[in-house]
Structure 1
Amino acid sequence: MNRHAGLIKLGLDSNPIHASKLIAEYARFPSPSSLSHAHRVFDQVPFYLQDTPLWASLISLYSRSHQPHNALHLFFHMLRPPQAASNALPNTYVFASVARAIASAPEQLSLGQTLHAHVIKSGFLPHDVVVETALVDMYAKCGVVTCAYKLFDEMPRRNLVTWNAMISGFIQNGMDLMLGEQMHGFAIVSGFELNCLNAIAAMYFHCGEVGSAEKVLDGIGGDFFVTLIKIRGYVSNAKYRDALNCISSANNGIMILRQDHKVIVPLLTACARLCLLRVGKQLHGLISTLVESCFQFNLSYEDGAIIGCALIDMYSKCGDVCEARKVFDHLLPQNVSHGNSMMSGYIYNELIGDARALLEILPEKNVVSWTTMMTGYVQSGKPKECLSLLAEMYCSKEGLIGNCLTFVVSLEACSYLTDLENGKQIHAKVVRTLVSAATNNVVIGTALIDMYSKSGNLNYAQTVFDLMVEKNVVAWTSIIMGHAVHGNGFDALKLFHQMIGMGVEPNEVTFVAVLTACSHCGLVDNGLQYFKMMKKYGLVPREDHQTCVIDMLGRFGRLDEAFYLLEEIEDTDSNCESSYGTAWAALLGASQLHGNIKLGERIAKRMVNRNQTSTAHVTLSNAYAAAGLWDEAYGVRESWRREGDVNGEPGFSSISTHLQNS
Structure 2
Amino acid sequence: MRKVASCSALSFSNFYTNCAQRKPFFLSRKGLSNVIPSRSSLELHSHLYSDWLVSALIVGVNSCSRVFYCQAFHARVIKSVNYRHGFVGDQLVSNYARLGYPEYAQNLFDEMPNKDLVSWNSLISGLSRSRFTTKCLSAFCKMRFEMGMQPNYVTFLSIFSACSDEGALSEGKCIHGFAMKLGMLNDVKIVNALINMYGKSGYLHEACRLFKAMLLQNLVSWNSMIAVYTQNGLAEESMGIFIMMRRAGVEFDQATMLTVLQACENLGVRNLAGSIHGLILSFGITANVTIATALLNLYSKLGCLHASSKVFGEIIDPDNVAWTAMLAGYAVHGHGKDAIKLFQIMVKKGVQPDHVTFTHLLSACSHSGLVNEGKRYFKIMSEVYGVERKLDHYSCMVDLLGRSGHLSDAYDLIRCMPMEPTSGVWGALLNACRVYGNTELGKEVAERLFSLDPSDARNYIMLSNIYSSAGLWREASEVRALLKERSPYRTPGCSFVEHGNKIYRFVVGDRSHPQAERIYNKLEELIGKIRKAGFMSKTEFVLHDVDEEVKENMINQHSEKLAMAFGLLVTDAAMPLIITKNLRICGDCHSMAKAVSLIERRTIIIRDPKRFHHFCNGLCSCGDYW
What's 2:473 paired with? Answer: 630
Counterpart code for 1:245:
N
Unaligned runs of 5+ in 1: 1-128, 130-154, 292-303, 658-662
Q: Match for 2:399: what amino acid?
A: D
2:404 matches 1:556: yes
SS of structure 2 residue aligned to 1:604: helix
Alignment-derived partner of residue 328 in structure 2: 481
CA 1:612–1:545 in structure 2 vs 1: closer, same or farther (change >3 Å)? Answer: farther
In the TM superposition, what is the alpha-carbon distance from 1:384 to its structure 2 partner? 1.6
Match of 2:379 among 526, 532, 540: 532
Quote the residue 1:219 is aligned against.
79
**Structure 1 CA distance for aligned equivalents of residues 202 and 91 of structure 2:** 35
Residue 309 of structure 1 aligns with which residue? Answer: 157
Identity score, percent: 25
Task: Quote how far apart the aligned CAs of 1:190 are.
Answer: 13
Structure-1 separation of matches of 2:23 and 2:313: 34
Cα distance in 2, alignment partners of residues 467 and 337 from structure 1: 37
> Whole-Å Cα distance in 1 between the matches of residues 327 and 489 of structure 2?
45
Kept in 1: contact 2:242–2:260 (CA 8 A):
yes
Deviations 1:585-628 (A, max 9, x none): 22122112212223223323444565658655442332121122
Instruction: Label 1:340 to 1:608 Cα distance change in 2 as closer, same or farther (>3 A).
Output: closer
CA contact (8 A) 2:109 2:123 kept: no
CA contact (8 A) 1:170 1:180 kept: no
The alpha-carbon distance between structure 1 residues 611 and 256, as it changes in their structure 2 partners (threshold 3 A), is closer
Change in Cα spacing, 1:188 to 1:481, as seen in structure 2 (3 Å) is: same
Q: 1:243 and 2:105 equivalent?
A: yes
- In structure 2, the partner of 1:597 is 439
Among 357, 360, 369, the residue aligned to 2:221: 369
Q: Which of 1 and 2 has greater Rg?
A: 1
CA contact (8 A) 2:460 2:483 kept: no
| TM-aligned CA distance change 1:177 to 1:192, over 3 Å | farther
Match of 1:592, SS state, is helix
SS state of the match for residue 437, structure 2?
coil
CA contact (8 A) 2:70 2:92 kept: no
Which moves more between the two structures, 334-343 or 217-226?
A: 217-226
Alpha-carbon distance in structure 1 between the residues aligned to 2:107 and 2:445? 51
Does the CA contact (< 8 Å) of 2:90 and 2:123 recur in 1?
A: no
Q: Tell me whether 1:280 sits opposite 2:152 in the alignment.
A: no
Higher relative contact order (CA 8 A, sep 6+): 2
How many residues are aligned here?
A: 470
Sort the Cα spacing of 1:445 and 1:654 in 2 relative to 1 into closer, same or farther, 3 A: closer
Match 1:267 to one of 106, 123, 126: 123
- Change beyond 3 A, Cα 1:379–1:193: farther
Which shows bigger deviation, 399-408 or 282-291? 282-291
2:464/2:480 contact within 8 Å kept = yes
CA gap of 1:349–1:538, structure 2 versus 1, over 3 A, is farther
Task: Give the 3 Å change call, closer, same or farther, for CA 561–633 of structure 1 in structure 2.
Answer: same
Which one-letter code corresponds to 1:452 in the other structure? Y
The alpha carbon displacement at 1:404 in A equals 0.9
Alignment of 1:498-513 (within 5 A): 498-513=345-360
Deviation at 1:646? 6.1
Amino acid at match of 1:325: H
Q: Distance in 1 between matches of 2:349 and 2:320?
A: 11
Whole-angstrom CA distance in 2 between matches of 1:539 and 1:654: 45
Shift in CA distance, 472/241, structure 1 to aligned 2, threshold 3 Å: farther
Which residue of the partner structure matches residue 402 of structure 1? 252
Change (3 A) 1:646 1:402: closer
Over 3 Å counting, the alpha-carbon distance change for 1:310 and 1:228 in structure 2 is: same
CA distance in 2 between counterparts of 1:210 and 1:309 reads 26
Q: 1:543 to 1:315 in 2, by over 3 A?
A: closer
User: Pairwise mapping of residues 130-149 of structure 1 onto structure 2 (< 5 A)?
Assistant: none
State the SS of the aligned residue for 2:216. Answer: coil
Cα separation, 2, equivalents of 1:484 and 1:197 = 53
What TM-score do the two structures reach when normalised by structure 1?
0.63
Deviation per CA, 1:236-277, whole angstroms, max 9, x where unpaired? 43433322222327xx67x221xxx33333211234321122
Q: Quick one: which amino acid aligns to residue 123 of structure 2?
A: L
How many Å separate the matches in 1 of 2:35 and 2:42?
A: 8
Q: Distance in 2 between matches of 1:534 and 1:256?
A: 50
Cα separation, partners in 2 of 1:340 and 1:167, compared to 1, 3 Å: farther
Q: Please say if 1:323 is aligned against 2:174.
A: yes
Secondary structure, aligned partner of 1:289 = coil
SS in 1 for 2:115: helix
Q: Secondary structure at the residue paired with 2:345?
A: helix
* Cα shift readout 1:490-539 (whole Å, capped 9, x = no counterpart): 11111111122222222222122111211121101211222223323444
Distance 1:656 1:392, change over 3 A: closer
Structure 2: distance between partners of 1:354 and 1:316: 14
Show the 5 A alignment for 1:353-502. Answer: 353-396=205-248, 399-433=249-283, 435=284, 437-439=285-287, 441-502=288-349
TM alignment of 1:109-120, pairs within 5 A: none
In structure 1, how many angstroms separate the alpha carbons of the residues matched to 2:206 and 2:356? 35
Change over 3 Å in CA distance of 1:364–1:636 after alignment to 2: closer
Q: For the structure 1 residues 610 and 180, does the alpha-carbon distance in structure 2 shift closer, same or farther, using more than 3 Å as the test?
A: closer
| Letter of the 2:23 counterpart | L
8 Å contact 1:483–1:492 — kept in the other structure?
A: yes
Tell me: CA distance 1:274–1:654, structure 2 relative to 1, closer, same or farther (3 Å).
closer
Q: Which structure is higher in strand share?
A: 2
CA deviations 1:42-78 (Å, max 9, x no partner) are: xxxxxxxxxxxxxxxxxxxxxxxxxxxxxxxxxxxxx
Contact 1:313 1:324 in 2 (8 A): no
Asked if residue 545 in structure 1 is aligned to residue 545 in structure 2, the reply is no
Which residue is equivalent to 1:76?
none
| 1:344 positional shift | 1.6
AA aligned to 1:212 is: A
Cα distance in 2 for partners of 1:636, 1:348 equals 38
- Equivalent-residue separation in structure 2 for 1:581 and 1:290 (angstroms): 50
Which residue does the alignment assign to 2:603?
none
For the 8 Å contact 1:312–1:328, the answer to whether it is kept is: no
Following the alignment from structure 1 to structure 2, what is the Cα–Cα distance between the partners of residues 566 and 546? Answer: 8
Counterparts in 2 of 1:589 and 1:158: CA distance versus 1, 3 Å? same
Tell me the CA shift for residue 481 of structure 1: 0.6
Distance, in Å, in 2 between the alignment partners of 1:493 and 1:395 is 45
TM-score of the two chains, using structure 2 as the length reference: 0.66
Separation in structure 2 between the aligned mates of residue 220 and residue 467 of structure 1, nearest angstrom = 53
CA displacement, residues 311-353 of structure 1 (integer Å, 9 cap, x when unaligned) = 4334555541212312431344622212111112212333222
CA spacing shift, 1:279–1:290, aligned 2, 3 Å: closer
Contact 1:328 1:342 in 2 (8 A): no
Partner letter of residue 360 of structure 2? A
Structure 2 equivalent of residue 620 of structure 1: 463
Partner of 2:115: 256
- Counterpart Cα distance in 1 of 2:209 and 2:464: 50
Can you list the C-alpha shifts for 1:130-169, whole angstroms capped at 9, x where unaligned? xxxxxxxxxxxxxxxxxxxxxxxxx855279857974786
Aligned mates of 1:610, 1:187 — CA distance in 2: 56
2:430 to 588, 602, 609: 588
How far 1:631 moved relative to its partner?
A: 3.7
Letter in 2 for 1:460: A
* Distance (whole Å) between structure 1 residues aligned to residue 146 and residue 317 of structure 2: 47
Question: C-alpha root-mean-square deviation of aligned residues, in Å?
Answer: 3.7
